[in-house]
Amino acid sequence: MSQSFRCNNQIAAAVRNVGGNNAFTGCGDGTHETHRAFIVKESSASFADSVSALQQLTEQGALDLASAAIVCRGHKQLESIRGQVNYSKLHGKTKELATAAFLRDSHHNYRGAFQTVERIVREIAGDDALWDRIAEAPDAAEARAVSLAIWRFVKDAGRLPSVSRLGEEWIQSVREQLAALIAKIGVKGEVKLGSHIRKTGLRNDQLALPLFKAQKDFPAVRQDTIHQVKGESIDSVLVIGSTRFWNSVVKAVDDGVSSEDRRLAYVAMTRARHQLIVGLPRGHFDKHAKTWTSWGFAVFPD
Position 1 in a domain? no
Position 4 in a domain? no
Same domain flag for 176 and 229: no
- Helix or strand or coil: residue 299? strand
At 121-179, the pLDDT tens digits run 999 988 889 999 999 999 999 999 999 999 999 999 999 999 999 999 999 999 999 99
Rounded to an integer, what distance in angstroms lies between the CA atom of residue 244 and that of residue 260? 13
- Taking residues 29-33, report their average pLDDT: 90
Rounded to an integer, what distance in angstroms lies between the CA atom of residue 189 and that of residue 126? 10
3-state percent breakdown (helix, strand, coil) of the chain, nearest 5: 50, 15, 35
What share of the chain in percent tops pLDDT 90? 68
At 249-267, the pLDDT tens digits run 999 999 999 999 999 999 9
Instruction: State the DSSP code for 195.
Output: G
Distance separating the N- and C-terminal Cα atoms of the chain = 33
**pLDDT in the model for residue 151:** 97
Same domain flag for 24 and 139: no
Least confident of 86-90, 121-125, 195-199, 254-258: 86-90
Same domain flag for 103 and 192: yes
**Residues spanned by the domain of 260:** 9-82+219-299
Same domain flag for 174 and 246: no
Of 2 and 61, the one with more pLDDT: 61
Of 95, 42, 48, nearest in space to 243 by CA: 42
Same domain flag for 112 and 185: yes
Same domain flag for 130 and 172: yes
**pLDDT in the model for residue 216:** 62
How many domains, in total, are found in the chain?
Answer: 2
Of 41 and 109, the one with more pLDDT: 41
**Measuring CA to CA, how many Å separate 62 from each of 39, 55, 236, 276, 282?**
19, 11, 11, 14, 28
Rounded to an integer, what distance in angstroms lies between the CA atom of residue 108 and that of residue 88? 20
